Structure 1
């Protein structure tokens, strides 16, 4: 990967890792589902004018992808981050969507993988179990459960997204924002009563977190990621993205008071190691294995 693209990767990593810290700070004042709705409302303002219509017959798939990723994945992931009380464990557990996506692609799309990828998947899920016995995680088990469910919805949305045709990243982000705002507001009204009325009282820190999530993490981060995967195989970019949870852990230690214990570190290493092996196997296949053969 040329130096120019490495710089772009690092910008993506910084944008996404910083989102854990800025969002956690914002959610001290704004509850998770309302925060997610605010993120997408802000994102929809510039993108609503740029979205393209999907191809005929693809509206149901597009709506399902938007609800899986925009409402269920982001809403639950921010809820898990709020409940966790640390940045490290949510950032690591989020990566479990990679083995989940591989398994779903095998089950739903018939994509095959060899035993090495299967072993990497098993290591990743075993790492989640090890991580779950860390005292930080054991104190708040619902955060781990919700983050795993969130990752599962991201995996479902990712697999379904493979069937979408003719939509660029701007349109995908724009439609996700447009379709997600009202359901998120409805969920917030149900689970977070009075939160919307208290929103004008939020400080600049909370609003800065929402603006960061919308424009730095989503618009800049995902936009540059789309540029990178246009130039390189996804498997070549993915190993670099494992820097996101590592940097998020560093931010958590420096600014949030995280003190990850040995079980969290060992389990996290297993999760990220399994994800790295999956990515490297995919890259090997992209480089040298004919399409008919297994990963």
Structure 2
């Protein structure tokens, strides 16, 4: 058995597959909901629900961490999710957003090298190149060419997440629940402000939304965010983060299948080839990370590392 997958058997394997299913279904559920609620307001409703569930359990971050927590919340909670849902709505399909969302992984590696001075070997550099080349190939698919702006939005969303991930590496003294809760609280007014400016008819649409729109936001908050991240947090306390993350690449695969079966996606050769290049590159990066990381999370990693892992895992959605 490959070292990247060693240790995840039995119940833990079922749990990681459940996480992937939660996150993959979020693409489908949100795609339906976005037909009734505009993207940034939909994201605001999602984080408002999450706030109501978590506000009773959060703790304030250390005083010197507030600025970093605020920056992470704006990048990850508001800009990342808002643009990712906008990209999903513009795309008109599930396949390309689910795959392109993974490009945040090579982006985060490059940013960590540029900002934090983290080094990587030639194999990782090759994997990064293949992933970005895969996005270019995927962009030639007829489904993507129908709305090139959707691809731009998904890449922008991935960049926001990559920036937030790098900033989160320095976050200290914030547990996973508090990190999720404060991200929701801080992101909510930002999202409402963006929606008020760019989605002037948003609240009128929200008032007319059916159970499909409200149910989508509820699913995104409860299953994709709360349960998905909660289960991931449980797993990374039992295993190295790098042992868990390769499994999460099942999320875009499941999302593509859901798109074909339920949404009517018809990926062409460019989508399959480009998608394989993107996901293959991300898998190599994940395996290389495992080879460099040998310290169990619950023995040596600070609480912030678990918080980073929880947010990075999103990738597959990272519509989560």
TM-score, length basis structure 1: 0.96
Work out the CA distance in 2 between the residues paired with 1:40 and 1:221: 15
Gaps of 5+ in 1: 289-295
Counterparts of 1:102-141 in structure 2 under 5 Å? 102-141=109-148
4+ runs deviating over 2 angstroms:
none
Candidates 246, 263, 266, aligned match of 2:270? 263
Equivalenced residues, count: 288
Work out the CA distance in 1 between the residues paired with 2:175 and 2:53: 15
Candidates 273, 282, 291, aligned match of 2:289? 282
Work out the CA distance in 2 between the residues paired with 1:231 and 1:88: 32
Question: Does residue 2 of structure 1 match 2:27?
Answer: no
Counterparts of 1:111-260 in structure 2 under 5 Å? 111-260=118-267
Residue pair 2:78, 2:190 contacting (<8 A) in 1 also: yes
- Give the CA deviation at 1:61: 0.4
Work out the CA distance in 2 between the residues paired with 1:16 and 1:105: 26
Question: Does residue 76 of structure 1 match 2:79?
Answer: no
Residue aligning to 1:94:
101
- Give the CA deviation at 1:49: 1.4
Work out the CA distance in 2 between the residues paired with 1:36 and 1:165: 26
CA RMSD of superposed structures (Å): 1.0
TM-score, length basis structure 2: 0.88
Per-residue Cα deviation, 1:176-232 (whole angstroms, up to 9, x for no partner): 110111111111111111211331211111111010000000000011111212222
Greater displacement, 194-203 / 36-45: 194-203
Candidates 50, 65, 72, aligned match of 1:43? 50
Indicate the SS of the match to 2:242. helix
Greater displacement, 212-221 / 165-174: 165-174
Residue aligning to 1:65:
72
Per-residue Cα deviation, 1:72-116 (whole angstroms, up to 9, x for no partner): 100000000000000000000000011111111111111111000
Gaps of 5+ in 2: 1-7, 296-320
Residue aligning to 2:318:
none
